[in-house]
Amino acid sequence: MPLHQLPPEVLLHVLRLLGSVFFRQDTRRLLVSKWWYQLAWPVLLHDLAFSAASLRRFILTFEREDVMSSMQNHPITTSLCLDGFQGWDALWSDNSKPARTNFEAVDAWTSELNGHLTSLVVILQRCAKLRSLTLKARPEHHDPRMDLQRRDYLMALPLAGLASISHLTCLEVDTAGTGLVNQSNAPGIHICREIRSMLPTLRRLRCRMTSICPDVLDAPEKRPLLDLEDVVVNLSLSEMSDSDTSYRYPSRCGHTYGGGFPQLKADMEAKAKDLAGRMRNPRIIRVVSHTLPGLKMHSFDALTGRRMLLPSATPWDADGEELEETVVGEEDFDSDSSSEEGLP
């Protein structure tokens, strides 16, 4: 029997097994028939996945109210993987354009991206079935003719909005590839505090940012942590890409607290232990970091107090070889290390 002639409930089960990625690979697969489309369209919307370019197309398509109403009951997971500005070649195709115009084009792209992220927040807030959000921001690969170093391209307001969508149960924020720009436009926003406000309703949290502080694990005292089970904070800004081999540390939010990275790491581990004591069913509570000069990845388990040596490129929550405290001390962080220190 041809696939499109199956009973609707059987075909829907098959389409769900194929998943939304099957239709994202070629949207023409939605158009077998009107009946097929009615079943396939919700499956496509269950798992939304965006790059900067596909996010732009999505926002331009779904900004209409009638289209928005037709999709808001379907999304369950959303993931964004951003790589910064990609149009360097186009900027140099017209040699008559001054360099200033090229910089203006990059700034315009940054403003547009963050505007689209803000629009996405509004859309996702209305998607009541949405449970999981993943945001990954990778380092920008810029054209050397622009004389740019590591450029920041995320703004605080849309990031805070994404990190505080009310009905999420799983949140992953990995913005180690960029810092925040235009924070002067949102002076009252502290991303760590936005994330901590979500802890009472989350089940799972993964977090890595270029600026971070223990507030991210400081859950509101008056709200019980009934569902939170799985928390990992990564304090290593390393392995961002194949070409980026530096091992850097995040800075502490505000840049006014003494003690450098060793103090930030100690405070984060202490806060992780406090958080574990407040959780009803803790499963994983870990703080990942790396050492200098050994450049070894370590994981601190707040539930057991163990420290583990992790293989390179391993998942953040992986188990590793258990280390004795004396061994960790021999290769621990230099108290004079800068939060932005890196090795080529």
Identify the pLDDT of residue 118. 94
Same domain? For 255 and 279 the reply is: yes
Question: How many domains, the chain?
Answer: 2
Per-residue pLDDT of the chain in tens (344 residues, 90 and over written 9):
666 677 777 777 777 787 777 877 777 777 777 777 777 777 878 889 999 998 998 888 776 666 677 778 889 999 999 988 877 666 666 555 555 567 788 888 999 999 999 999 999 999 999 999 999 999 887 666 655 566 789 999 999 999 999 999 999 999 998 988 866 666 778 999 999 999 999 999 999 999 999 999 999 888 899 999 999 999 998 754 444 445 678 999 876 666 788 899 999 999 999 999 999 999 999 999 987 766 788 999 999 999 999 987 789 999 989 987 644 443 444 433 444 444 33
CA gap 12, 16 in Å, rounded: 6
Identify the pLDDT of residue 259. 72
Let me know if residue 341 belongs to a domain.
no
- SS3 for 250-299, per residue? CEECCCCCCCHHHHHHHHHHHHHHHHHHHECCCCEEEEEEECCCCCCEEE
Identify the pLDDT of residue 78. 95
Contact status, residue 290 vs residue 237, Cβ threshold 8 Å:
no
Instruction: Say how many C-beta atoms besides its own lie within 10 A of residue 241's C-beta.
Output: 11
Identify the pLDDT of residue 9. 72
pTM of structure = 0.84
E strands, 139-279, in order: 154-155, 170-175, 180-181, 204-209, 211-212, 230-234, 251-252
Contact status, residue 43 vs residue 20, Cβ threshold 8 Å:
yes
Strand, helix or coil for residue 96: coil
Same domain? For 100 and 114 the reply is: yes
CA 187 to chain centre: 22
* DSSP letter, residue 318: -
Same domain? For 191 and 291 the reply is: yes
Same domain? For 224 and 325 the reply is: yes
Same domain? For 24 and 121 the reply is: no
Q: Which domain holds residue 20?
A: 1-48
Same domain? For 4 and 145 the reply is: no
Strand partners, 77: 47, 132
Identify the pLDDT of residue 299. 94
Same domain? For 6 and 128 the reply is: no
Contact status, residue 154 vs residue 175, Cβ threshold 8 Å:
yes
Let me know if residue 126 belongs to a domain.
yes
* DSSP letter, residue 330: H
Let me know if residue 338 belongs to a domain.
no
Rg of the chain over Cα atoms, rounded to whole angstroms, equals 22
Same domain? For 40 and 153 the reply is: no
Let me know if residue 342 belongs to a domain.
no
